[in-house]
Structure 1
Amino acid sequence: MVSSPKPPDPVATAQAQAGMNRDTAITQQQLNMTDQINPWGSVTYDKTGTDGFYDSQGKWVETPKYSQTTTYNPEQQAIFDKTTEAQGNLANIAADQSAFLGDYLDKPFEFNNDDASNWAYDLASQRILPQQQKNADALRTQLINSGLRPGTAAWDSEMSRMTNANTDQLNQLALTGRSQAFSEAQATRNQPINEIIGLMSGSQLANPGSQSPGSPQTGVGGVDYTGLVNQQYQAQLANSQAKMGGLFGLASAGIGLFSDRRLKHDIKRVGTLFNGMSVYTFKYKGDATTHMGLMADEVLDVVPEAVNLDPNGFYRVDYGRAA
């Protein structure tokens, strides 16, 4: 049959595709590394050398290496220097305080309920106790005016209610005072820790690059080399199959065609039939059209019955027999 085109080498194709992908990546990087100049300073890019790696085939691949340089304008540089100095001072203070904090945190947090209750009682008793006594005197007067006397059940009931109310008031005072005292104790405990955290969280000066609106970013489209190679191969394969179909169309028709080498020129071998005979493209003398077929002298050696001689002494080939 007519020989088919040779399939592309997958390794060579993959290597070529990888190289083109790398070229695309480097091109896109270089296009996007645009120097920036703004009121805060500048950001510039410089090629400072090369780097590289060994690919999957052991071949050394070299790639460019770049450096980004950020420069403040004089005013921003002065602010940066002062800010750095201030941060250094705060860091030193934080370091000194952290030594104290180590010993400080070794001591567990302590809170005494009795102390808190006593503190609250002492704080409020100067107002509450006189008021409770005043309320008790008023209740006694009210009961006597109502005809009740000490020792009676009604008297005892009212005085007991008054005593319970006073006790509840003092208990509530103790609970509220304890809660407030606990919060104050916690704040006192946490104050040194909060101071150190504040010292260690100083603000930072913005990078000039972050202040810039940024340069437009390009998107370089990659080359689908693998796809192009495959398309070319498929086109060649289709063309080969079309030619083979045309040749066997002649064979099935049983047409005796002039195949005498003496009548042809521009002869080129393009393939081989199953029986080993070569297939050629050629032009008949005096005709610019390119044809494809066999050479009668070669067919005589393989299938002589497919060759006949015309009255003019030129050989014809019956493709129905030759193929």
Structure 2
Amino acid sequence: MGKSSAPEPTDPVETSAATTGTNVSTAIANAFLGNVNQVTNDGTLTYDQTGSYSWTDPYTGETYDVPTFTATQTLSDEQQAISDQSNAAELNLATLANNQSAFLNDYMANPFSYSVGEYENWANNLYNSLNSENNANSVDALKAQLANQGIKVGTEAYDRAMAGLTESQQNTQNQFLLDAYSTGLNTALTERNQPINEITALLSGSQVDNPTYANTNSSQITGTDNASIIGNYDSQSLAAWQQNQAATAGLLGGVGGLFSGLGKVGVTLSDARVKEDKEKIGETKDGIGIYRFRYKGDPKLQIGLMAQDVKKKRPEAVTTTPSGLMAVNYDEATK
């Protein structure tokens, strides 16, 4: 009766659902194992399941309940006290900077200015107060020196010497005024920027600190390779079909061999009218149906052809008995 039928391959949707379910369960178990509570001298880190969310696999339609966790950091009493004091100090600095910044509204509304005229008057007065007596003494000393050298007033040598002293004193005064200008300008800028620098310094000591988060344990859910699952299913389906084809071919060979050599004489009737419980189980190469059946009144299962089918494809293989029923020559029907 040929080979037995191959088992049907598992539905790829069922295989995918089983694989994904295992992956999700493994990831959840790893998450629970990895969320280890920690205790140190400075505080503790604890993990708690605080909820869950539903996720539906778009391929299988299966819904999974995935837990969510919360990591909580708690400082020791000493560290909490330090944190409270630091936060209070930073808040005070920020408040002070905010109050001082209101002053800048009017202060910055007036552009910076430095009067050259005021600078020159101030610088000349300062220079004269510091050097007028020394300059006069230098002139008297030079006159006495020239007199001792016999150089008289009104001579070219006398005028040249006095002009040199005057030029030297003027150069000294000009350099003093230049240095005084730079000093005065820098002083004015420093006074201008001082309130701004103070507020900036206050703000730099009161910056908002970003929260420090724990390095949480993250579990990844491995994806399900649906393409491979479907490919395996197709391969299994093809193998089952090939096995069925081989069984059908073996069955046909068995049928042909069973009846080979009998010819038309003594062939058991193949008329469908004398058979019951007929079940088609294959076909010949010409497309003639092969059946499993019982002759009426006989409980034994047999395999063979139906004369009516054979007559359509190979009428030369069919004969009609005196009773009007048809018989088949299997050598002719299956060659």
Report what 1:36 is aligned to.
38
TM-fit CA distance, 1:261: 10
Q: Does 1:48 align with 2:50?
A: yes
- CA–CA separation in structure 1 for the residues paired with 2:156 and 2:180: 36
Contact 1:72–1:208, Cα closer than 8 Å, also in 2: no
**Is there any run of 5+ residues in structure 2 with no aligned partner, and where?**
1-8, 260-279, 291-302, 318-327
- CA–CA separation in structure 1 for the residues paired with 2:115 and 2:282: 105
Contact 2:288–2:309, Cα closer than 8 Å, also in 1: no
Cα 1:117–1:205 change in 2 (3 A) is same
Cα 1:110–1:271 change in 2 (3 A) is farther
Contact 1:21–1:222, Cα closer than 8 Å, also in 2: yes
- CA–CA separation in structure 1 for the residues paired with 2:141 and 2:282: 131
Report what 2:293 is aligned to.
none
3-state SS, counterpart of residue 258 of structure 1? helix
Counterparts in 2 of 1:266-277, with a 5 A limit?
none
TM-fit CA distance, 1:91: 3.3
- CA–CA separation in structure 2 for the residues paired with 1:73 and 1:177: 59
Q: Does 1:232 align with 2:232?
A: yes
Cα 1:301–1:44 change in 2 (3 A) is same
Report what 2:274 is aligned to.
none
Report what 1:290 is aligned to.
none
**Is there any run of 5+ residues in structure 1 with no aligned partner, and where?**
251-255, 264-268, 280-294
3-state SS, counterpart of residue 108 of structure 2? helix
- CA–CA separation in structure 2 for the residues paired with 1:38 and 1:270: 76
Report what 1:288 is aligned to.
none
Letter of the 1:43 counterpart: L
Identical-residue share of aligned pairs (%): 29
- CA–CA separation in structure 2 for the residues paired with 1:234 and 1:89: 73
Counterparts in 2 of 1:269-308, with a 5 A limit?
297=305, 301=309
Backbone CA RMSD of aligned residues: 5.6
- CA–CA separation in structure 2 for the residues paired with 1:157 and 1:270: 142
Which of 150, 163, 166 lines up with 1:160 in the alignment?
163
Report what 1:266 is aligned to.
none
Cα 1:170–1:153 change in 2 (3 A) is same
Cα deviations across residues 113-160 of structure 1 (Å, max 9, x unaligned)?
333344444445444344444444444445555554443444434433
Report what 2:222 is aligned to.
222
Which of 46, 70, 75 lines up with 2:73 in the alignment?
70
Letter of the 2:178 counterpart: L
Contact 1:16–1:225, Cα closer than 8 Å, also in 2: no
3-state SS, counterpart of residue 191 of structure 2? helix
TM-fit CA distance, 1:258: 3.3
Structure with greater Cα Rg: 2
Cα 1:32–1:106 change in 2 (3 A) is farther
Q: Does 1:83 align with 2:86?
A: yes
- CA–CA separation in structure 1 for the residues paired with 2:19 and 2:185: 72
Counterparts in 2 of 1:1-323, with a 5 A limit?
32-51=34-53, 63-145=66-148, 148-200=151-203, 201-202=205-206, 220=220, 222-229=222-229, 232-233=232-233, 235-236=235-236, 239=239, 257-259=253-255, 297=305, 301=309
Report what 1:253 is aligned to.
none
- CA–CA separation in structure 2 for the residues paired with 1:236 and 1:78: 69
Contact 1:33–1:45, Cα closer than 8 Å, also in 2: yes
Length, aligned pairs only: 284
Letter of the 2:77 counterpart: P
Cα 1:220–1:152 change in 2 (3 A) is same
Letter of the 1:195 counterpart: E
- CA–CA separation in structure 1 for the residues paired with 2:332 and 2:122: 128
Contact 1:51–1:65, Cα closer than 8 Å, also in 2: yes
Larger RCO (alpha carbons 8 Å, 6+ apart): 1
TM-fit CA distance, 1:206: 9.5
Report what 1:287 is aligned to.
none
- CA–CA separation in structure 1 for the residues paired with 2:332 and 2:221: 54
- CA–CA separation in structure 2 for the residues paired with 1:160 and 1:317: 150
TM normalised by structure 1 equals 0.59
- CA–CA separation in structure 2 for the residues paired with 1:272 and 1:8: 30
TM-fit CA distance, 1:79: 1.8
Cα deviations across residues 182-223 of structure 1 (Å, max 9, x unaligned)?
22222222222222233333377897767xxx68x5665724
Contact 1:261–1:297, Cα closer than 8 Å, also in 2: no
Cα 1:82–1:272 change in 2 (3 A) is farther
